[in-house]
């Protein structure tokens, strides 16, 4: 499956007094990766929610390899693991500007109808976009 990358600098407020990124910030980095992955397909998460579909995280696993530091330029590589059904699964790799892997991660999200709060199938428009990148 195709992947997307987004790079940004670690902000001071994301670190402790030693300049090391607090581990709880990594899920936010993963979210940036997912949102940009969708955007690269021409899909806005905001518009998805407006249409009544939300994607809560139901599973999160992060394997920390090396610390990210204040002002590091880090890259989050986001890759769809398999075609979605009712759930969508992503693998991630977070690296610094020298290419060292800082963390690997996996998330699973569920497609939820915002009116009924029940799981639904992946919207057809998203499946169509995914088919175009899988070729």
The CA distance from 120 to 101, in Å, is: 35
Order of strands across the sheet that contains 118-119:
53-54, 112-113, 118-119
Question: Any idea which residues carry the catalytic annotation?
Answer: 16
Integer Cα distance of 111 and 88 in angstroms: 8
CA-wise closest residue to 93 among 132, 70, 125, 65: 65
Q: State how far the Cα of 56 lies from the Cα of 38, in Å rounded to an integer.
A: 15
Asked if residues 122 and 43 have their Cβ atoms less than 8 Å apart, the reply is: no
């Amino acid at each position: 499956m195709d992947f997307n990358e987004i790079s940004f600098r670690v902000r001071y407020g994301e670190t402790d007094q030693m300049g090391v990124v607090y581990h709880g910030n990594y899920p936010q980095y993963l979210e940036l990766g997912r949102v940009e992955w969708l955007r690269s397909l021409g899909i806005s998460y905001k518009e998805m929610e407006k249409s009544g579909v939300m994607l809560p995280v139901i599973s999160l696993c992060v394997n920390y390899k090396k610390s990210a530091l204040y002002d590091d330029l880090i890259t989050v590589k986001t890759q769809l693991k398999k075609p979605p059904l009712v759930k969508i699964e992503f693998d991630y790799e977070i690296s610094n500007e020298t290419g060292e892997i800082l963390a690997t991660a996996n998330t699973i999200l569920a497609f939820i109808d915002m009116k009924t709060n029940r799981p639904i199938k992946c919207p057809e428009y998203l499946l169509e976009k995914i088919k175009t990148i899988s070729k």
